[in-house]
Amino acid sequence: MRIFDTHAHLLDEQFDADREELIASLPDAGIARVMEACCDEAGIDRVAGLVARVPFFYGSAGVHPHSADEFRPETLDHIKEALTRERMVAIGEIGLDYHYDFSPRDVQRDCFDAQLALSCELRRPVIIHDREAHGDCMDLLRPYRGRLSGVMHCFSASYEIAKECIDLGLYIAFGGALTFKNAVHQWEIASKLPLDRLLIETDCPYMTPVPFRGTRNDPRRIVLTLNKLSELKGLDPRELSEILYRNSFKAFGIGE
Strand, helix or coil for residue 63:
coil
Nearer to Ni ion, 59 or 230 (CB): 59
Integer-rounded Cα Rg, in Å, for the chain is 17
- For residue 91, list its beta bridge partners: 61, 126
Q: Rounded to 5 degrees, what are φ and ψ at 181?
A: -60, -25
Q: How near is the Cβ of 64 to Ni ion at its closest, in Å?
A: 7
Interaction residues for Ni ion, span 132-191 (CB under 5 A): none
Using N-to-C axis directions, what is the helix angle for 237-252 and 222-233, rounded to 10°?
110
Q: How near is the Cβ of 7 to Ni ion at its closest, in Å?
A: 6
Q: How near is the Cβ of 82 to Ni ion at its closest, in Å?
A: 17
Torsion of CA 158, 164, 165, 168, to 10 degrees: -170
Interaction residues for Ni ion, span 15-44 (CB under 5 A): 37
Q: How near is the Cβ of 219 to Ni ion at its closest, in Å?
A: 13
Single out the segment in contact with Ni ion by CB under 5 A; choices: 23-31, 134-142, 198-206, 227-235. Answer: 198-206
Q: How near is the Cβ of 94 to Ni ion at its closest, in Å?
A: 11
Single out the segment in contact with Ni ion by CB under 5 A; choices: 52-60, 114-122, 197-205, 222-230. Answer: 197-205
Q: How near is the Cβ of 93 to Ni ion at its closest, in Å?
A: 5
If one asks whether residue 201 binds Ni ion (CB under 5 A), the answer comes out as: no
- For residue 5, list its beta bridge partners: 34
- For residue 4, list its beta bridge partners: 33
Q: How many residues bind Ni ion (CB under 5 A)?
A: 2
- For residue 200, list its beta bridge partners: 174
If one asks whether residue 5 binds Ni ion (CB under 5 A), the answer comes out as: no
Q: Rounded to 5 degrees, what are φ and ψ at 69?
A: -75, -5
If one asks whether residue 203 binds Ni ion (CB under 5 A), the answer comes out as: yes
Nearer to Ni ion, 131 or 233 (CB): 131
Distances (CA, A) of 243 to 8, 118, 154, 196, 197: 20, 30, 19, 7, 10
Nearer to Ni ion, 68 or 160 (CB): 68
Nearer to Ni ion, 12 or 136 (CB): 12
Nearer to Ni ion, 37 or 222 (CB): 37
Scanning the chain, the segments in alpha helix (DSSP H) are 19-25, 41-53, 73-82, 105-122, 134-141, 159-167, 184-192, 222-233, 237-252
Q: Binding pattern to Ni ion, positions 216-245, x when CB under 5 A?
A: ------------------------------
Report whether 59 contacts 73 (CB < 8 A): no
Q: Count other Cβ atoms within 10 Å, centred on residue 26.
A: 22
Q: How near is the Cβ of 119 to Ni ion at its closest, in Å?
A: 17
Nearer to Ni ion, 121 or 152 (CB): 152
Report whether 149 contacts 126 (CB < 8 A): yes
Nearer to Ni ion, 134 or 163 (CB): 134
Q: Which residues bind Ni ion (CB under 5 A)?
A: 37, 203
